[in-house]
């Protein structure tokens, strides 16, 4: 039974896709949307992140309507959430502690990315709580590469 469970953890319905790319040039500066980005050990070129377990941030595209609903908004633009990649069609929570290929880069999903207090400012009253449990994930860069909109997101190893 354990073997079957371990095998089930490795399976995903299919590949994900890069739906949006955002660069944060500096803390509290406006997010810049990009079509293509180079990923280095220190994160995305043009982003203010630093090398390590939090070099890149990802959020699930399918969570944006949930966050909007919980925040009392009609819609939600990804730049308000201040994450680097919005990905669709693959469950990021199922990739915790796993490696994934996104474009030609390889990332290691290290843990959940909680919302910051700025979400109250950007999403309005209750914005912080609207994002709790939906804030996305941090990742460390394993192999640098290039990522473009609509690139595939593929699980390379599963969480254990």
Predicted local confidence at residue 46, as pLDDT: 96
Return the number of other C-beta atoms located less than 10 Å from residue 150's C-beta. Answer: 10
pLDDT tens-digit profile, the chain (160 residues): 567 866 766 677 679 999 999 999 988 888 999 999 999 999 999 999 899 999 999 999 999 999 999 999 999 999 999 999 999 999 999 999 999 999 999 999 999 999 988 899 899 999 999 999 999 999 999 999 999 999 999 999 755 4
- In angstroms, the CA 147 to CA 108 distance is 15
**From the CB of residue 133, how many other CB atoms can be counted at a distance below 10 Å?**
14
- C-alpha separations of 133 from 59, 111, 137 in Å: 11, 12, 10
pTM attached to this predicted model = 0.91
CB 49, CB 116: distance < 8 Å: no
pLDDT at 158: 58
Tokens 């469950």, residue?
A: 91
């Amino acid at each position: 039974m354990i073997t079957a469970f371990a095998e089930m953890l490795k399976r995903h319905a299919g590949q994900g896709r890069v739906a949006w790319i955002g660069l944060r040039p500096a803390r509290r500066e406006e997010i810049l949307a990009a079509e293509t980005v180079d990923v280095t050990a220190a994160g995305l070129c043009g982003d203010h992140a630093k090398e390590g377990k939090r070099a890149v941030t990802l959020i699930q595209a399918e969570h944006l309507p949930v966050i909007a609903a919980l925040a009392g908004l009609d819609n939600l633009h990804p730049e308000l959430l201040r994450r680097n990649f919005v990905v669709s069609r693959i469950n990021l929570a199922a990739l915790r502690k796993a490696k994934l290929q996104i474009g030609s880069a390889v990332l290691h999903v290290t843990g959940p990315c909680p919302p910051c207090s700025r979400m109250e400012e950007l999403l309005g009253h209750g914005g912080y709580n609207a994002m709790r449990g939906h804030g996305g994930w941090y990742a460390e860069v394993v192999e640098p590469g290039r990522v473009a909109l609509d690139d595939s997101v593929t699980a390379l190893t599963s969480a254990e």
